[in-house]
Amino acid sequence: MTNPKKPAPKPRPSTTPSPTSRGTAASGEPLAEKHAKILVVGAGFAGLGTAIQLLQSGFGEQLLVIERDSEVGGTWRDNTYPGCACDVPSHLYSFSFAPNPDWSKRFAPQPEIGAYLRRCADEFGVRPHIRFRCELQRAEWDQEAQIWRVETSRGPLTANFVVMAQGPLSEPSIPQLPGLEMFAGESFHSARWDHSLDLSGLRVGVIGTGASAIQFIPEIQQRAAHLTVFQRTPSWIVPRHDWEIPSWLQRLYRTMPVLQRLTRGFEYLTREASVPALMGNKMLRNLGRRSAEDHLKRQVQDPELRRKLTPDYELGCKRVLLSDNYFPALTRPNVSVVTDPIRGIDTDHVRTCTRDGVSTDEHTVDVLIFSTGFRVTDASHPRVIFGAGGRSLEDVWQGSPQAYRGSTVAGFPNLFLMAGPNTGLGHNSLIYMIEAQIAYLLSTLGFMQALQLRSVDVKASKQDEYNANLQERLAPSVWASGGCNSWYKDKKNQITTIWPDQTWRFRAETSEFDAEHYILTTAESINAAEVAG
C-alpha cells in the first residue's frame, strides 16, 4: 500500500470556533435603525418563521431581524458536511404555512432545506427586515424606560421586544483534550466543514459518533486511506426508510395541496405514537429495541464489532438515529472503531488508554474531525442578556436553563425565547414546537396592544410551578431513568431540553396568552410609581 499523502503541518491549528459565530462577525455598515419595536435575533427556521408570522399578523411595523452571518438558514446554512440531511421527514420538517411540494426525498438533503429557507425569506418579504453580518453583543432591560438597550457588532439600538431565535444547535462544542493545540494537521468541527481539504489518501480521525457522524462517515470512508472512529458511547440506530419522491407525486402535491397535508399529518401521527415508549411504556420500548438490534445484526457480522456498537442503555435515552449505510461503512477494511478513552493528542497521534489504565495505544492521523455536538445547555447567549435586576440569564440559570412554556423568563420583561428550555423533542419535528411558540408570542402581542401594556414579565412563582411540574412529568421517562447521560441533561442533572408529552398538548397550552401568570405594566402604572417616588 502506498504511503498516504499528508497535509503540510502547521504550528497551532484553530480548533475552537467562536462562541457565537463562524469566526468573527464582520462589521458591516452601521445600522440605520436606532429603534425596533420587535427585534428578532437569528434568521434560521425559528427567526424566519417568527418574522413571517409577525408580518402576516400586522406586527411588521419596525420589525428588525439581525443575523450574524451573510445569509439565512441557521444550522442548515452552517452544516454542509458530506451526506448532511434531515432526520425528520421533509413534509413535516417545514413550515405548515409554506408547504414545499418539490422535496426530492422523504428526508430532505441539506442543500434543499437551505434553498427552502432562502425561498421563504424571499417570497414572504422578510429580507428587507434583515441586517446581515450583525451580531448581538449585549442586551439589557431598562426598567425605568421599559425598553431593551441592545449592542450589536454594527452599533447600538433600542427595542420594545427581543425574540431570541438563534437556535439550540448553533454553537459547536469541542472537548478540551490534552495536547490538542499541538496537533499539526487540519482539524475542524463537522458544523464548520473544511471543503478545501481533499481527504483522499489521508488518515482521518473522527471523534464522536452522533447524528452528524453517522451521515458523513459513510461518505468520507470511501476516500480516506484509513478512517479511525473514536467512539465514546454507541448510539441506537434504526433503518432510515428513505426514498425518492417521484416527479409525478410532486406534481400531484402542487395541484392537490390537500394530499401533501395528509402526508404531513400521517408523518406527524406516526411519530406521536412513539411518545408512550419514551414516557415509560417498556413493552413498546422493547419492541423498538429489538428492531434496532435486528438492524445491527443484519448489517454487522463481526461479533466483536457488533459488541462495540451495542449500547448498554435504554432505547431513546439518547437520540435514536436513522441510517442504512453507517454500520456497513464501519465494516470496511480501512475503518477502525476505537472505544478506549482518549488520553491525549500530539502532532500526529491520538493516544488512548484502556478503561483500567493498564495499557495505551497510539493512532496515527493526518486530519481530525470533531462530531461532538453543540452547546445546548451551556450556550453563550445567556451571558449577554441582562434582565430587570441587572443579572444575566447565565447568572439566573446557573447552568440549568428554565423558562415558562419554553418562552419567557421571570425578571426578563418582553423577552421571548424560541426553541427555549424544555421545547426539544426526541420523536417529532421541532418546527411544530416553534410554530406553537410563535402563536404564543402573537397572542401576547395582541393582548398587550389591546390593553396598551408596556411590558409583561412572567411571575417567578408561576415559572417555578411550571418547571416543577415538568420535572415531575419527566421522572418516569427514558431520559430520566434510561441509565445514560446525554445532552438532554444540564449541569445540575436536570432535563431542561426535552418536552415530556405529545406535541399537540404543548400547542394547546400555548394557544393563548395567560395574562394571570404575568406581571403587567402599563404607562399609567409607571407614572403612578414615579409620583409615589
Whether 102 has a pLDDT exceeding 90, the answer reads: yes
Which of 71-85, 397-411, 478-492 is the least confident region?
478-492
User: Does 300 share its domain with 285?
Assistant: yes
CB 152, CB 66: distance < 8 Å: yes
The pLDDT of 247-257, averaged and rounded, is 97
Helices (H), 1-109: 45-56, 75-78
- Distance from C-alpha of 517 to C-alpha of 506, rounded to nearest angstrom: 17
Residue 260 lies in a domain: yes
Q: State which of 328, 349, 370 marks the end of a domain.
A: 370
User: Does 396 share its domain with 467?
Assistant: yes
Report pLDDT for 522: 92
User: Does 292 share its domain with 322?
Assistant: yes
Report pLDDT for 175: 86
The pLDDT of 287-314, averaged and rounded, is 95
For a pLDDT cut of 70, what percent of the chain falls above it?
Answer: 91
Identify which of 399, 351, 370, 520 has the alpha carbon closest to the alpha carbon of residue 449.
Answer: 520
Q: State which of 318, 353, 370 marks the end of a domain.
A: 370
355's CB contacts (< 8 A; 6+ apart) are: 340, 341
Joined together, the cell numbers standing for residue 468 give 416543577
Report pLDDT for 27: 60
Report pLDDT for 18: 35
Residue at grid coordinates 411540494: 101
User: Does 63 share its domain with 136?
Assistant: yes
Report pLDDT for 529: 42
Q: State which of 370, 391, 408 marks the end of a domain.
A: 370
User: Does 389 share its domain with 365?
Assistant: no
The pLDDT of 28-57, averaged and rounded, is 95
pLDDT digits (tens, 9 = 90+) for 145-185: 999 999 999 999 999 999 999 877 767 888 889 999 999 99
Query: What CATH number is associated with residue 446?
Result: 3.50.50.60
CB 382, CB 394: distance < 8 Å: yes
420's CB contacts (< 8 A; 6+ apart) are: 164, 401, 403, 406, 407, 437
The pLDDT of 324-334, averaged and rounded, is 97
Residue 457 lies in a domain: yes
Output b/e per residue, 254-276; b: 16+ Cβ within 10 A. Answer: eeeeeebeebbeebbeebbebbe
Report pLDDT for 335: 97
Q: pLDDT band for position 378 (50/70/90)?
A: low
pLDDT digits (tens, 9 = 90+) for 450-475: 999 999 999 999 999 999 999 999 99
Report pLDDT for 376: 64
CB 294, CB 263: distance < 8 Å: no
Q: Which domain holds residue 408?
A: 35-72+126-171+376-532
